[in-house]
Structure 1
Amino acid sequence: MEALLALGWEGWLSLALVALSFVLFLRTRIAPDVVTSGALTVLLVTGVLTPAEALAGFANPGMLTVAVLYMVVSGLTETGAVSWISQALLGRPRTESGARLRLMLPAAGLSAFLNNTAVVAIFIPAVSDWARRHRLALSGLLIPLSFASIVGGTCTLIGTSTNLIVNGLYVERFQEAGFALFELAWIGLPLVITTLVFVMLTARWLLPARAPAAERFEDVRRYTAEMLVAADSPLAGKSIEAAGLRQLPGLFLAEIEREGQIMPAVSPQELLAPGDRLIFVGIIDSVVDLHRIRGLEPASDQVYKLGGPRQDRCFVEAVLSNKCPLVGLSVRAGGFRGYYNAVILALSRNGERVQRKIGDIILQAGDTLLLETRPEFILQQRNSKDFLVVSQLGDEHPLRHDRAPLAIAIVIAMVALVALKLVTMLEAALLAAGAMILTRCTPDRIARRAPDWQVLIVIATSFGIGAALEKTGAAALLAGATIDLAGGVPWLALGLLFVAAALLTALATNNVAAVLLFPVAVDTAALMQVNLTPFLVTLMVGASASFATPIGYQTNLMVFNVGGYRFGDFLRIGIPLTLAIGVTTVALVPLIWPFHG
């Protein structure tokens, strides 16, 4: 009671704002960054936090590292290296459960040695592309990706910042060697297995199943597009299915033209050959995806006669009007490229396939064209009488596949620098982002737009809210009250320490939980006259058990928007997983590191 009275209005306000934020996350559709920004504003205006304390999260190295990693990943995306990664690590799943297993195993393995934020940042675009090709719902994959990266980090001392912080506090206080690099694997590996088994068994019921956007539309425009298998294409010699050309949603391979011979009704096992002309019919998003596949190139050589590098061009959708001077002429005879400085990549007419090569098609009013051109085309033709509609397809543009090996090499160098402890993760990410821009793996305009500012604002403002909990004593009150319930039973104290750590990491961040509960863990072990190690390991795991909320860990925030999740999605699967991790930890840790001896 005395502790409650001593808390003060500042502490109660901090707790009330955290509780209100949770209610808003659960019961409304207000964006998370708006909620956390509002809470931080109240703490600043009421004087609970100084401006420096409130804004410290915006200069936090962890938050800045996430921001810069988005730029690094844009280099992988812009060069098509993402598809290399997905093919090499993820393969071709036969079921949705198989897809989750293929994803979680490499994510957990890499996170044991790499910063898990970097692992998730690299995997998100690869998984998005992979899910689209295999018609999988992202909502069933990205939460498992985040969870696997989190639990994988518990396997080694360097796997997560939480382990490093607790180990550093121990070394500083007791002047001892601390934990060995792989010592935590004794508990980390069972936790990885627990997480994998839990997700595989319960995902069907606990994860949301939201269909990809392409599957929600039936009456859509059907485009006809022609692609060539390049002479040096890595797809040559592969079957249609193995090349991934049957997995794009809303798209099918109508026929292949090879040495003047037409092959209709193509078998999935048909082997591709250099020079094959592939005729596809499908929705526009998948047609655009064709131009992002390494080894395929537009069948029209007119593409390479446009001025400037392909990476500086864009994809535009335009509808011909009856005033267009080329109506009634074939694409080739009318000289479309020379007239508009644009190349027709695909054409849609009344939702049906046009049975001709694109160059031979007679243009008609109302034809919808997918064009590759320069951005200036939109300004020049938007109000032209030649077109009824002119619109750019988001920020879609051709990729530079020739730079993919360079982009991958830059990422490997970034990881190596961190692994060898030559630079910090932030420094390595800054160097890698600069290298991506200087080598033209990603244009500077793309790199500037790469960061997800909603995610970054939530991370930065959450640091401020966590600082308020710490400054006002609210966090210490919660932790202390939980531990006091244990009495003199070490096993119960261990369980309550895990609960306190998991609760704090859900309310604030994993690092705040580790720092605040470290002295509590030390004092508890001393009062009970038992070995400290079980309590430190439990604290590491509990502070990393950020499964129940999207704001508990930055990898959860990174997948939150991309996967189309709601706050309750994390609660539904995260709370029982946290309980499973807690039971496994409390049961095994005292057996591996005994209380006595």
Structure 2
Amino acid sequence: MPFEALFTLATVLAVLVTLVVTRIAPDVVLMAALALLVVSGILEPGEALVGFSNPGVMTIATLYVVAAGLKETGAIQWIAHRLLGRPRGLRQAQARVLLPASGLSAFMNNTTVVAMFIPAVQEWAARLKLPPSKLLLPLSYAAILGGTCTLIGTSTNLVVDGLLQTERGVSLAMFELAWVGVPLLVVGGGFLMLFADKLLPDRQGVLEQLEQAREYAVEVVVEDKGPLAGKTIAAAGLRSLAHGYLADIERHGRLLTAVPPETELLAGDVLVFIGAPECARELRRIHGLRPAGGDVHKLDIAHHRRCLVEAVIGPDFAGLHQTVRESRFRSRYQAVILSISRHGKRLPGKLGDIRLQVGDTLLLETAQDFVDQYRYRKDFLLVSGLNDSTPPDFRKAPVALGILGGMVALSASGLVSILEAALLAGGAMLVTRCVPASKARRYLDLTVLIVIAASFALGAAMAKTGAAAQIAQWLLLVDGLAPWAALALVYLMTVIFTELITNNAAAVLMFPIAMAVAEQLGVDVLPFAVAVMFAASASFMTPLGYQTNLMVLGPGGYRFTDYLRLGAPLSLIVGVTAVGLIPVVWSF
């Protein structure tokens, strides 16, 4: 094998290992690999940067604006509340979640669909007294399956279609994938309807658990002429309690939240502590404090002067594996953690000593602008903000849905390309003020776009140096291997990559390998490219493989084993169906 091919394979392997075992951001890892391939002379600058001009990547960027318009107008919530209704039982409830979620995901970003459905389903489940754990993971899986039905349903489809246009001059039609995607949705949805109730636990999410948790708010007053008046919080010893922590200070009718330790206490300050019942007994032993009302009352999560936000810690959170205290959470985010839920259970003990992990769900008390400030950051996967100060403009929901319908109709008719239809729809969202330009700009997920575009450099290097052809030879070691068996191998390898790294990076890395396999077998490349499309979306077995899976982890009260229990058989069923149908629709 030439040195260039060995160097490229080593680079790809280093990227895979780094993405799996470290917390370095994926866009940083992929851009570093791109730079290495250019500096080493493997790729020319134009070859390395070809992903940034790929039509698939540009279509994804434009569709973020379309999704922004649908989200800002509340169009998804508008549909959800009308379709959910009042089912008679759990199975009917699951059907009313699966159908609209999969249908909407076929035409827009499934992350946006799931983000908008989660609070609606939580409220709906509470009203009907149904466990959210029976509904939220099927919601994520239905959104993934729905995204496979059209070319714009998931970014992976657009990426592979862009590669086909660039490399082979072939472009798929809007609904061409439906020949396989719809059967996958029917088979996968049927499996979820039949077995989700049996395989998923009856468990509550973080908000329901908080209402039952023995966690209290304790209010005490700083005494006039007492020893604590004039001291800072730290000097008064109020930062080192065993059973609670200081959350708020009420001073002269104002509520001070996320107070730093150097804040000076004044006589008459009402200090609000959050903690276990023993916190009240501990505070009574501190000289200079007296009970504000003489009682300990249960934490009121609907307090009219508080903004509560439920947020899931993402893989790029700066304080991962640090305690809450070590992460300087209050000073960094200007927010107080009221409760932490992990795998569906509120973590016991003092909050400041808990080490934060990916997937932990935090219930935060914070300022009104927290949701707007961190909605577009990767520190958190924000699920719901209670008492949101900026509700959607539902009056424009029909306009946004009309624009989406027009985009689909235009691209399906063949009058314009999908990129052109998306550009027209994005422009219409801005012109009709469904979303302001400032917000549309923030909806662009640059991390995802950079990861996809930079991944093209790895794919180009594998094709140019012969590394992809060498991997294809290793896959075809068995003499006389049938094309359908090679297709199954490509599908399986893509699924493994998808569960380890991002789905888009997996698709770009597997595309040149799939092309090389087809060429060495002397068959058409299209069925192999389509197999990469479907396999890269089939991430059901871990919460980290697909963003929607991680988003429902805390709200559904799930554990990692729940994903494996339901996702492993679903992956097998979807894989067998896809590998069986793809050669029928796109012959070898």
Give the TM-score, by structure 2 length. Answer: 0.56
**Distance (whole Å) between structure 1 residues aligned to residue 200 and residue 40 of structure 2:** 40
C-alpha deviation, 1:133, in angstroms:
2.0
* Correspondence for 2:63: 69
Distance 1:425 1:186, change over 3 A: closer
Instruction: Say if 1:108 and 1:152, in contact at 8 Å, map to a contact too.
Output: no
**Distance (whole Å) between structure 2 residues aligned to residue 69 and residue 198 of structure 1:** 31
* Correspondence for 1:401: 394
C-alpha deviation, 1:169, in angstroms:
10
User: Could you tell me which of 425, 428, 432 is aligned with 2:421?
Assistant: 428
Instruction: Say if 1:320 and 1:368, in contact at 8 Å, map to a contact too.
Output: no
Amino acid at match of 1:120: N
* Correspondence for 1:147: 144
C-alpha deviation, 1:450, in angstroms:
2.0
**Distance (whole Å) between structure 2 residues aligned to residue 564 and residue 591 of structure 1:** 37
* Correspondence for 1:130: 120
* Correspondence for 1:521: 518
Instruction: Say if 1:549 and 1:570, in contact at 8 Å, map to a contact too.
Output: no
**Distance (whole Å) between structure 2 residues aligned to residue 464 and residue 571 of structure 1:** 33
Instruction: Say if 1:65 and 1:426, in contact at 8 Å, map to a contact too.
Output: yes
1:521-572 deviations in Å (ceiling 9; x for gaps): 355256xxxxx6xx8546523542124659x9xx975536644699999888
C-alpha deviation, 1:148, in angstroms:
0.8
Amino acid at match of 2:118: S
Structure 2 unmatched ranges of 5 or more = 126-131, 218-247, 255-292, 308-333, 335-364, 373-388
Instruction: Say if 1:319 and 1:369, in contact at 8 Å, map to a contact too.
Output: no
C-alpha deviation, 1:120, in angstroms:
2.0
User: Could you tell me which of 10, 13, 28 is aligned with 1:13?
Assistant: 10
1:458-491 deviations in Å (ceiling 9; x for gaps): 3333333333333333223222321342525455
**Distance (whole Å) between structure 2 residues aligned to residue 399 and residue 465 of structure 1:** 41
1:417-464 deviations in Å (ceiling 9; x for gaps): 222233333333333333323322223332222233433333333333
**Distance (whole Å) between structure 2 residues aligned to residue 560 and residue 9 of structure 1:** 35
User: Could you tell me which of 472, 492, 496 is aligned with 2:465?
Assistant: 472
Give secondary structure in 2 for the equivalent of 1:399. coil
1:83-112 deviations in Å (ceiling 9; x for gaps): 21213444456777655544444455566x
After superposing the two structures, state which structure 1 stretch, 558-567 or 396-405, moved more. Answer: 558-567
1:380-434 deviations in Å (ceiling 9; x for gaps): xx9xxxxxx9932423414323222222222222222222233333333333333
C-alpha deviation, 1:65, in angstroms:
2.9
C-alpha deviation, 1:165, in angstroms:
7.3
**Distance (whole Å) between structure 1 residues aligned to residue 466 and residue 498 of structure 2:** 16
Give the TM-score, by structure 1 length. Answer: 0.55
Instruction: Say if 1:195 and 1:581, in contact at 8 Å, map to a contact too.
Output: yes
Kindly indicate whether residue 547 of structure 2 is the aligned counterpart of residue 546 of structure 1. no
Structure 1 unmatched ranges of 5 or more = 222-317, 325-348, 355-366, 372-381, 383-388, 527-531
* Correspondence for 1:456: 449
Instruction: Say if 1:54 and 1:464, in contact at 8 Å, map to a contact too.
Output: yes
**Distance (whole Å) between structure 2 residues aligned to residue 415 and residue 190 of structure 1:** 21
Give secondary structure in 1 for the equivalent of 2:185. helix
Instruction: Say if 2:73 and 2:393, in contact at 8 Å, map to a contact too.
Output: yes
Kindly indicate whether residue 384 of structure 2 is the aligned counterpart of residue 391 of structure 1. no
Distance 1:487 1:18, change over 3 A: farther
Distance 1:181 1:76, change over 3 A: closer
Distance 1:471 1:217, change over 3 A: farther
Distance 1:202 1:11, change over 3 A: farther
Q: How many pairs were matched up?
A: 425
**Distance (whole Å) between structure 2 residues aligned to residue 199 and residue 36 of structure 1:** 35
**Distance (whole Å) between structure 2 residues aligned to residue 181 and residue 75 of structure 1:** 21
* Correspondence for 1:559: 548
Query: CA RMSD of the aligned region, Å?
Result: 5.2
Amino acid at match of 1:391: A
**Distance (whole Å) between structure 2 residues aligned to residue 390 and residue 489 of structure 1:** 60
Kindly indicate whether residue 110 of structure 2 is the aligned counterpart of residue 120 of structure 1. yes
Structural mapping, 1:211-360, within 5 Å: 212-218=205-211, 219=215, 321-322=251-252
* Correspondence for 2:263: none
Amino acid at match of 1:145: A
Amino acid at match of 2:461: A
Amino acid at match of 1:78: E
**Distance (whole Å) between structure 2 residues aligned to residue 579 and residue 88 of structure 1:** 34
Distance 1:412 1:8, change over 3 A: closer
Kindly indicate whether residue 366 of structure 2 is the aligned counterpart of residue 369 of structure 1. no
**Distance (whole Å) between structure 2 residues aligned to residue 569 and residue 546 of structure 1:** 21
Give secondary structure in 1 for the equivalent of 2:367. strand
C-alpha deviation, 1:502, in angstroms:
5.1
**Distance (whole Å) between structure 1 residues aligned to residue 253 and residue 147 of structure 2:** 59
**Distance (whole Å) between structure 2 residues aligned to residue 184 and residue 149 of structure 1:** 11
**Distance (whole Å) between structure 2 residues aligned to residue 494 and residue 97 of structure 1:** 35
C-alpha deviation, 1:41, in angstroms:
4.5
Task: State percent identity of aligned pairs.
Answer: 36
